[in-house]
Each structure stands twice: as C-alpha cells, then as structure tokens.
Amino acid sequence: MSHYKHLSIEERENLYLLKNLGVGIRKIAEKMGRAPSTISRELKRGVRQKATYRPSEAQAQYIMRRKRCGRKHLMSQAKYQEKIRILIEKYQWSPEQISNRLKLENSDIQISYSSIYRAIYSGMFDPKKSHSYVKKQDRYLRFLRKKGKKYKKSADRRRVRFPDAPHISQRPQQANDRSCIGHWEADTVAGIKGGACILTLTDRRSRFLLAAKVDRNTAHEVSEKMIQLLEQIKPQYVLSITPDRGSEFANFEQIAVRLHKVQFYFPDPYAPWQRGTNENTNGLLREYLPKHCDISPVPDDLIAAFVHRLNLRPRKCLGWRSPFEVFYHDVLHLT
C-alpha cells in the first residue's frame, strides 16, 4: 500500500526559494525529506515554456488534476446514458426499476437509483419527449409519488347486484394469498363517454396483463372480448375471475360456461381496493392512454405494444422480475 503524500503549497514555496538560491535537486530533496525524483517531477510540472518554476501555478495544476482523477461517473458516459435514456423514454421504467433490474441481471452497469434521479433533475435528459398517445407531458417524472385521490363513486356507470353470484369472501385462499397463477381480476378502462374502452384482465400472482379494445362497453361485447383473451391462455391458468360490479360483466354465467366453468367472484359495490391488483395495472395503462382520451382511433397493435411493455416492466413486488417472466416461468435479458 502506497503512503505517498502530495506536496503542499508550503512545500512548493520552499522549493521555489531553494531553487532560486541555486541549491541542487538532491540537496533540496534531502532538506525537504522527499525523493529526488519527486522534486524533479515537481519542477517540470510547475514550469511554463521558457520560464522558471512557479509554486502557485504548480498548485493550481495539482488541484485541476485532482478534480479529473478518480472513477468516471457512469451517467457521464454516452453509452450508459443512452441505455438508461431508452429505458426511461421508451419503456417508462423508474430509476428504482432500472437500478435494481441491472443488479438482478449482473449488468456491467451498476448505478444507484439516486444517481439516476440526480441526472434527471440536472437536465441530462430531454424532458419534452412523450410516449403518451394523445398528450405531451413530462415522461421523466412518471415515477414521482403523488398523493392519492379520494375515491369517488361513478355517477354514470350502472352497478348490478348480481344476487346469485358468489361473493369475493368465498374466493379460495390460493387466490387471496397469490400462491398460484390463474386467478384474475377484471375491469374496463374508459375513454370518452359513449366511446370505446379497454377490457383489462390482471393475474393476481404474476401481475401479467391481458387487454384489448372493446368498441362498445356493453355486456355482450365485453363478454366476447374476455372469452377471446382468455382462450389464448391454458385452462389451468384460468381458475377464477374477480370483475368489477359494472353492468358490462352481467354475462358472467355465459363466460363461465364457455371458459371451462371458470368461477366468478364479485366484490362489494364501490370497493375498488378489493381488486387492487387490477386497479393498479389500469393506472399504469393510463400512462399511455390518459383519462378522457378517445380510445376508438387507437390501433389494436399499439394497445398490444403498450400491454407488452407493461408485462416486461420489472416490479418490486416480484423481486424486480417482470410479469411476463413470472407468468411464463422464464428469464429474460431486459437491459
């Protein structure tokens, strides 16, 4: 281990005086308790072209070199900055998701999420770009926590009693404790009044999302779209469905018959927290399709792309794995 100590400004002043008195390098080194090579290098550093040694200039050069030395900050390197830029801009990952997913994949980039936050606030990234379908807004601040809004009852959405439907309290324990894949929560994400909506189904265990546009928010169209989505999934992964109590799910018995007698469980009226997984996922989908936007002209393939991005986004509750990885028992390289 090296115990080398840099020359202080006082030592540089002494060196200047001794040199002007004509003292040789070896004698100066002996008087100052330094190696002759140290004195020789110092005299070269502090000399301008065709000039004598200047201690103040030598000290200034030393300070400048100290600022430049040390490990280069990762966020100042173009290739790392571009990778993180893509994860934020294109995929809407938060700094915490980026940092922890890089660790999970043992990436050559290891950076704390606080460093990414500082880079964002310092203006390192362009805050004007947006991947929202209808509205330009600051996509870099998506991950900032906001105070929750008090839930308000919907005035224009019909609720149905479903007197013969099983209550959520009857749902099996494996659905409640998320111990296995196949227990889904369902809802619709509305656009403008009277327009198209998005049917969403979220698996409670993996947070895997199925979603598609429905032209009209009616029981018939919603039930047909739900069957279409869930028929793509193996029957052993369609065990139960907990939908919202809206009238669009009135055909639940017909859906159950066509989907291998899948069991439905209904929550209490105006209790969205009983379907918290789906409500949270709908909030993530709103990053791409904000409230009051017209969903009708949005292409189906673009909606599918939004869903795919959400299914590949790392989740803290999944140990920074993605819903896709958990649902399909797979491991992906996402960074």
pLDDT value of residue 62: 73
- Residue 197's Cβ-count burial label (10 Å; 0-12, 13-18, 19+) is buried
DSSP letter for 75, please: G
Domain chopping of the chain, boundaries: 9-68, 74-141, 168-328
pLDDT value of residue 10: 81
* Three-state DSSP class for residue 126: coil
pLDDT value of residue 132: 47
Residue 28: closest CA among 9, 14, 41:
14
pLDDT value of residue 129: 47
Sequence-ordered list of residues with C-beta below 8 angstroms from that of 278, at least 6 positions apart, any chain: 185, 186, 187, 200, 201, 202, 242
pTM for the complete prediction? 0.73
CATH 3.30.420.10 for domain 168-328: yes
Task: Order across the sheet with 183-190: list the strands.
Answer: 209-214, 197-203, 183-190, 240-243, 263-264
pLDDT value of residue 2: 53
pLDDT value of residue 5: 74
pLDDT value of residue 148: 46
pLDDT value of residue 303: 96
Residue 309: closest CA among 206, 185, 231, 208:
208
pLDDT value of residue 126: 58
Per-residue model confidence as pLDDT tens for the chain (335 residues) = 456 677 887 888 888 888 888 888 898 888 888 888 888 888 877 665 546 677 777 777 777 777 666 555 666 677 788 888 889 888 899 999 999 999 999 988 888 888 888 888 877 765 444 444 444 335 555 544 444 445 454 444 556 667 778 999 999 999 999 999 999 999 999 999 889 999 999 999 999 999 999 999 999 999 999 999 999 999 999 999 999 999 999 999 999 999 989 999 999 988 989 999 999 999 999 999 999 899 999 999 999 999 999 999 999 999 999 999 999 999 999 88
Helix ranges restricted to H, 122-209:
173-176
Task: Write the DSSP string, 146-170.
Answer: -PPPPP---SSS-B---TTSPBGGG
Residue 189: closest CA among 199, 204, 180:
199
Q: Pull the structure tokens for residue 69.
A: 């030395």
pLDDT value of residue 134: 40
pLDDT value of residue 160: 64
